[in-house]
Amino acid sequence: MKRIYTHLFCLLSLLGMLSCTDKYTEIFTANAPVYMSYDDLRSAVKTSSAQPMKHPGKIYFKDNYILIIEQMKGIHLIDVSTPSSPKNIGFIEIPGCTDMAIRNQLLFADSYVDLVALDVSNLSNVKESHRLKDVLPYRVPATDNEFPVTRIDQKKGVILEWEVITEKRELEPSYYPNYPMYDNLANSSSSDKLSAGGISGSGFGKSGSMARFGLYDKYLYIADTYILNIFDVSGTLVNVGKSSLNGNIETMFVYDKHLFFGTPNGMLIYSLQVPNTPALVSTFWHATSCDPVVVQDGYAYITLRGGQVCHADFNRLDVVKLSADYKTNILAASYDLTNPYGLAIDNNTLFVCDGKAGLKVYDATDKQAITSHQLAAFPDIKTYDVIPVNGYLFMVGDDGFYLYDYADLQHIKQIGHIPVVKE
């Protein structure tokens, strides 16, 4: 940033007293917002043909489909009815989408400041069923440079992207929370046409460990830093209200009528005994880091990731023993890792996305020796998140979308792959 100072001398009085006034303008380079109007935002949801994956994020499984978020753009539809031959069959355009959940035939997703419910019973004709306007915080996309941000005018709409400008004027920076943006994990393309199938089963789908959306009973929970947004999704969308949380929430995992939150400083456990009023049960603190958490059979598994964004210089897996009432939590073991992101547990099989070190699979029966019982490793990919379902593992990584067969734990193998197409 360059400042040009101009000294102006002026006669202030008839007595000839001389004073000096400093004035300056700023020539600066900054990120200026590119807006989408609210009217355009609220008419933008539609189904289109398969699109290439450029910035994939969170994943979700329901009824033989894996849904993969294209950050801030929408959702890729992957047909995994034949796991050895996954097909990229279509795309749901949802501007501002970063997370999702499915209950019965309704898909819930964020669209910037709105929450939308989509009827996905026919994937060739996805329809918007309900929309709650202005129920989510006004967030902005992350910038990819160190330039400041110019003034933001929320009345103009939501921010699609930034354009770098250089101009001469006063800089009035604004602060807004960013959408959580993850590494560019994959690029993929497909010429398959959208099938006429759809999501028809009842019940909930299954999310990955990086989710901020969670379902229990008739309620949808959306974690947003220190606030939990609660919605009744049993009929039309109803905004139940907000609940304050005791930490800066990064991830959420629903298990055994409880919400398990991952925060930069520890794990929080909330009871859903009264589903519309979650109550804090206990906390488990750890050193500052990024940390998704999964839970099964009295143990919580937490990956702690370091780096500049996560403000830590270590990477590890913590295994926490939980009491029956979740009030007493004791660290059972810790293991060094390389750069862990998502994870999953199926019985005693633990799957860890260790970032650039690849996918690692462990027998977690002996909590004191997990890394000594490695079942498989796939080191040549950069991994992000996984979902295990009935002996199949679905994973998003830097080289695309992967499927593994782990029915035989002694011979875990990759059986399917949608490759990337680099830009």
Across the chain, which has 423 residues, the per-10-residue mean pLDDT values are: 38 40 63 97 96 88 95 95 94 97 97 98 94 95 87 96 82 61 36 54 92 97 95 96 92 97 93 97 82 95 78 84 97 95 97 96 98 96 94 90 96 90 69
* C-alpha to C-alpha distance for 407 and 65, rounded to whole angstroms: 19
User: Residue 251 in contact with residue 293, Cβ under 8 Å?
Assistant: yes
C-alpha span between 362 and 347 (Å, rounded): 11
Which tokens belong to 273? 């005994």
Read off the tokens for 280.
């804090």
The DSSP secondary-structure symbol of 17 reads: -
β-strand 213-216 against 56-62: which pairing, if any? unpaired
Per the structure block, which two tokens stand in for 251? 């991830």
Q: Model pTM?
A: 0.87
pLDDT attached to residue 4: 38
Distance separating alpha carbons of residues 179 and 138, to the nearest angstrom:
10
Coil, strand or helix: which one is 111?
A: strand
Identify the three-state secondary structure at position 77. strand
pLDDT of residue 309: 58
Residue 310: its pLDDT value, please? Answer: 59
Contacts of residue 20, Cβ cutoff 8 Å, sequence gap at least 6:
7, 8, 9
Asked whether 120 and 101 are in contact (CB, 8 A), the reply is no
Instruction: Kindly list the distances between the CA atom of residue 131 and the CA atoms of 54, 117, 156, 237, 288, in Å, as whole numbers in the listed order.
Output: 27, 6, 20, 7, 37
**How many Å apart are CA 41 and CA 95, to the nearest integer?**
7
Q: On the CB side of 177, how many CA atoms lie within 13 Å of its CA?
A: 12
SS3 155: helix
The pLDDT of residue 186 is 33
Task: State residue 35 phi and psi, 5-degree precision.
Answer: -95, 155
The b/e string for 305-333 (b: 16+ C-beta within 10 A; e otherwise) is: bbeeebebeebbbbbbebeeebeebeeeb
318: which residues sit within 8 A by CB, 6+ positions away? 286, 301, 302, 303, 304, 331, 333, 334
Please tell me the distance from the alpha carbon of residue 78 to that of residue 29, in angstroms, as a whole number: 41
Which residues in 20-36 are b (16+ Cβ under 10 Å) and which e?
eeeeeeeebebbebebb
DSSP codes joined into one string, 169-207: S-------PBPP-----------PPPPS------SB-EE
Report residue 67 as tokens. Answer: 């849904």
Burial 82-114 (b: 16+ CB within 10 A, else e): ebeebbbbbbbbbbbbbbbbbbbbbbbbbbbbb
